Amino acid sequence: MSHSLAAARSHRAALRIACLALLLGVPAALSAQPFGLWTAFAGDGTMDATNGRLQIPDSPALNPTSAITIEAWVSLSVPSPNQSCRSIVGKDYHTAYWVGYCNSGSGAVLRSYVHGTASQFNGGVIPNGPWIHIAVTSDGTTRNHYIDGELVGTHAETGPPAGSTMPLEIGGDPSWVYSPNGLVNEVRLWNVARTQDEIRSTINVPVRSAQPGLVAVWPMFTPNDALGGHDGTFSGNIPPVLGPPAIVTCGSSTVSALCLAGKYEINATWRTGPPGTATTGNASVVVAGPDSGIFWFFDSSNWEVMVKVINGCGLNNQWWVFSAATTNVFYQMNVTDVQSGQTKIYFNYPGPPAPAVTDTTAFPCP
């Protein structure tokens, strides 16, 4: 590791601590999805009314009657085997819907209820630590669990979604006040069962305007609904809202990460196993230029993904991210603007050859 990169890493570590003091009133530039700003929950594995959660008053719209989709970005610590399940979103699991995670002995499993306790379903593994996107859909006939846009579990339903007069809670449930130990961002509730393609189409972009079937969006750096109809209130023991640290430069490229234009740090992971299985490996850098670079997965002579950043500030006031790949395996590419702290995540799903990324609105110019 070069001296400049080591210094940057050290600076970043210090700023991670400093970011604990961030307040709710932050510049709009930091609110990009995913990971612009988020709420940290500090559940300790006990059922306690003082556990932190976001509470949204009941209303008819929060009780879909024919179909439902619940989405969120999360970064979670897996509970130990002797600890209880943790609530991510709940409206009284006894009678209505709930999404959370439970220790299965070999990791955490994604669990959902859609119409009370009899509707429990486990499907999909929650990894310990990294940011992932989760989604649960039900049309009254079939329930699907998705992680990072991939189907990881399917369940035959015995009825449509059910509601309750209880408040909706994020980071809790009126009947299961076990807060998660981790971070929650961009929670969305729909009264339709979104398809896989629909989930993927908005997986890494913020949703801030009305769409067919969209009930509410809670970005989680504020207790309010981004659509304005279902604002909530933070309650209990909840740490400050967190945001990513900002540093001056990413230094220089390494064997595992590109540093492009001096401020865009790019890394990637890849997987050859089925959806829901662990990452196979980390992408390695084989070529690194000032504004572009290339990753390999299996062998340094077998190049897989080329990526570049383009200064489009004079055209649309945005930095662009373009990539091209010669692979059909699953990969996740993370691009972070270390100066603003924003991250964009791009997925390639297994099967057909990876499509090109031509994101001309990736990051706003200063």
On whether both 177 and 39 belong to a single domain, the answer is yes
* CB-CB neighbours of 172 under 10 Å: 30
User: Is residue 267 very low, low, confident or very high in pLDDT (cuts 50, 70, 90)?
Assistant: very high
On whether both 178 and 31 belong to a single domain, the answer is yes
Position 335 scores a pLDDT of: 95
Amino acid (one-letter) located at 176:
W
Domain-located, residue 63: yes
- Statement: residue 313 has pLDDT above 80: yes
- Statement: residue 238 has pLDDT above 90: no
Non-local CB neighbours of 64 within 8 Å, separated by 6+ positions: 161, 163, 189, 190, 191, 215
Q: Which among 146, 126, 75 has a CA at the least distance from the CA of 347?
A: 146
Helix ranges restricted to H, the chain:
3-18, 196-201, 313-316
Domain-located, residue 82: yes
Position 236 scores a pLDDT of: 84
On whether both 177 and 295 belong to a single domain, the answer is no
On whether both 342 and 237 belong to a single domain, the answer is no
CATH code, domain with 66: 2.60.120.200
On whether both 224 and 268 belong to a single domain, the answer is no
Domain-located, residue 162: yes
Span 10-22, pLDDT tens digits: 333 333 333 333 3
On whether both 273 and 201 belong to a single domain, the answer is no
Span 325-347, pLDDT tens digits: 999 999 999 999 999 888 899 99
Domain-located, residue 121: yes
Domain-located, residue 211: yes
Domain-located, residue 251: no
- Of 191, 210, 242, the residue at which a domain comes to its end is 242
Number of structural domains the chain divides into: 2
- Statement: residue 259 has pLDDT above 90: yes
On whether both 232 and 292 belong to a single domain, the answer is no
User: Is residue 78 very low, low, confident or very high in pLDDT (cuts 50, 70, 90)?
Assistant: confident
Domain-located, residue 9: no
Q: Which of 14-23, 26-35, 223-232, 267-276 has the lowest mean pLDDT?
A: 14-23
Position 240 scores a pLDDT of: 64
Residue 65 domain boundaries: 23-242
- Statement: residue 131 has pLDDT above 70: yes
Measured distance CA(269)–CA(220) in Å, rounded: 27
Domain-located, residue 272: yes
Position 167 scores a pLDDT of: 98
On whether both 137 and 281 belong to a single domain, the answer is no
Most confident range, picked from 46-50, 143-147, 246-250, 350-354: 143-147
Non-local CB neighbours of 168 within 8 Å, separated by 6+ positions: 55, 56, 58, 62, 89, 90, 91, 189, 230, 232
Helix ranges restricted to H, 221-320:
313-316
Span 188-208, pLDDT tens digits: 999 999 999 999 999 988 899
- Of 199, 215, 242, the residue at which a domain comes to its end is 242
On whether both 133 and 233 belong to a single domain, the answer is yes
On whether both 291 and 222 belong to a single domain, the answer is no
What average pLDDT does range 163-182 have in this prediction? Answer: 95
Q: Order of strands across the sheet with 302-312?
A: 284-288, 292-299, 302-312, 318-325, 357-364
On whether both 265 and 236 belong to a single domain, the answer is no
Measured distance CA(221)–CA(36) in Å, rounded: 9
Position 45 scores a pLDDT of: 75
On whether both 235 and 263 belong to a single domain, the answer is no
Position 34 scores a pLDDT of: 62
- Of 242, 270, 299, the residue at which a domain comes to its end is 242
